[in-house]
Structure 1
Amino acid sequence: MDLMLVVAQSGGGNAGAAGMVAMLFSCFTFLISIVLGVIGIIGMWKVFDKADRPGWAALVPIYNCIVLLEIIGRPVWWLALLFIPLVNIVAGAIMMIDLAKSFGR
């Protein structure tokens, strides 16, 4: 007997529908994550170009934080703060405020 047929027939009620909904939700979440990631990279690329830094640096995960720290004038050891839970939220907020100040806003 076909194993898939046995599993499909032995399932109770709406198990197949629940699996389909879970799969669609996962695909939708994945696509939204990709779109938001691309928007973030484009934004960081433009910030780096405006600060006369190479735009491709936005694509390299740790290096883009180092370049951002150089733009805002913070020491490189602040990179370690971004790996500490809860501290990274405060450090990130301070970095974004400093970034706005470095562009005169």
Structure 2
Amino acid sequence: MDLNDYTQQVFSGGAGVITLVLYILYAVALWKVFTKAGYPGILALIPIVNLVFLVKIAGMSGWFALLYLIPIVNIVFAIVVAVKQGKNFGKGGVFSFFLLWLIPMIGNFIIGFGSAQYRKV
């Protein structure tokens, strides 16, 4: 089986549709979070750029997004970003760890469509 056959199997039928729907939902959630933080929501649609601005929303320099490229460090850094993002939206550590790091789509929907206000701490 060559790579082309594998790609067709993975992205054909239901799996491709589900992946596309999940990406669209995540982009909508990030769009709302970005606009609450004062950034253009359209940046949520660009895969690498949305990480840079998510790091900025967490209160760090966008250059720190490069840490996502380093194995093991990226896991620790993702937790730090999630906790700081939650703190800037007035959420606690448990919310940030479970809903912004482990299940970010749900956490960002709660922040984006909820009553949380962005305040850079």
Is the TM-score greater than 0.5? yes
2:35 corresponds to: 49
Which residue does 2:22 correspond to in 1? 36
1:75 aligned residue (52, 61, 69): 61
- Aligned twin of 2:49: 63
How many percent of aligned residue pairs carry the same amino acid?
38
Bigger CA drift: 82-91 or 30-39?
82-91
Output the CA distance in 2 between the equivalents of 1:26 and 1:88. 31
**C-alpha deviation, 1:95, in angstroms:** 0.8
Distance 1:79 1:31, change over 3 A: same
CA RMSD of aligned residues (A): 2.1
CA distance in 1, matches of 2:20, 2:58: 27
Gaps of 5+ in 1: 1-21
Partner of 2:3: none
Q: Which amino acid aligns with 1:83?
A: L
Aligned length: 84
User: How far is 1:24 from its partner?
Assistant: 9.1
Gap regions ≥5 residues in structure 2: 1-7, 92-121
Whether the 8 Å CA contact 2:59–2:85 is kept in 1: the answer is: no
State how far apart, in whole Å, the 2-side matches of 1:53 and 1:79 are.
Answer: 17
Runs (4+) off by over 3 Å = 22-26
Q: What secondary structure, in the 3-state scheme, does the structure 1 residue paired with 2:31 have?
A: helix
1:92 paired to 2:78: yes
1:47 maps to amino acid: V
Higher relative contact order at CA 8 Å, sep ≥6: structure 1 or structure 2? 2
